[in-house]
Amino acid sequence: MQVNLTGRTALVTGSTQGIGAAIATALARAGATVAVNGRTSDSVTAAVKRLRAEVPDAEVVPVAADIATEEGAGLAVELLPEVDVLVNNLGIFESRPALEITDDEWRRYFEVNVLAAVRLTRAYLPGMTSRGWGRVQYIASDSAVVTPAEMIHYGMSKTALLAVSRGFAKEAAGTGVTVNSVIAGPTHTGGVEEFVYELVDRDLPWEEAQRAFMREHRPQSLLQRLIEPEEIAHMVVYLSSPQASATTGGALRVDGGYVDAILP
């Protein structure tokens, strides 16, 4: 299946590294003009350079703004007043004993992982509906459904994203705009490598550490390995495409069979 997003503009939040960078690159390969977002000009400039090295003819827009704040979200919208595809990828995570999570940490996870996405959806959805075409996506997690004991604040925020996504899909009903969430499973990123080594022996080589982590902490995975960021990006590109016009209000899994359920 050929996906052609030529003429479309996509904003991928938190796209200087990891899953976000893979999504930005995949959308650029599909022909979209891609806005790369990060908190600092240096991180965005470096990410844009890497993307252009991978996709030499890419149309890339740098958006250096901390969208987890009202001011940063406003700056992003000022730099990029209209988008056709909004991928709310920004997110933070860390392990923490449940009874040690402070009020401030609970608030921070909601602000960064949920409210930042809500703000941008409020900003961009009206333009999409008025034009009769648009795609809004939220990068959720298996933790939205299978809450991990070691980071329930993160799981809470991802569960909230599923509700936000379904609700905004109803708001966009009948307009030609689709709204979906993507449930990403355990994924191989730099941040996850550090997380893995918090839970298994740091002296283990990475391949052994990864297998030990999946065996001991994610044994229900049918894939039995970490997912590569590009595999998440493939789903995002499809949902961004005209071919996905009948898919909305969904929570689509790219989880390696981690969530033990038949329905997506």
Asked whether the beta carbons of 136 and 168 are under 8 A apart, the reply is yes
Q: How far is residue 168's CA from residue 34's CA, in Å, rounded to a whole number? A: 23
CA-to-CA distance for 94 and 108, rounded, in angstroms? 12
User: DSSP letter string over 187-252?
Assistant: B--HHHHHHHHHHS-TTS-HHHHHHHHHHHH-TT-SS-SPBPHHHHHHHHHHHTSGGGTT--S-EE
Token pair 């997003």: residue: 5
Candidates 154, 197, 238, 258; catalytic one: 154
- Spatial contact of 95 and 150, defined as CB atoms under 8 Å apart: yes
Count of CB atoms situated within 10 Å of the CB of 206: 11
Pairing type for strands 9-12 and 251-254 reads unpaired
Give yes or no: 154 in active site: yes
* 192 Cβ contact partners less than 8 Å away, ≥ 6 residues apart: 186, 226
The strand pairing partners of 33, in sequence order, are 9
Q: Which active-site residues does the annotation give?
A: 154
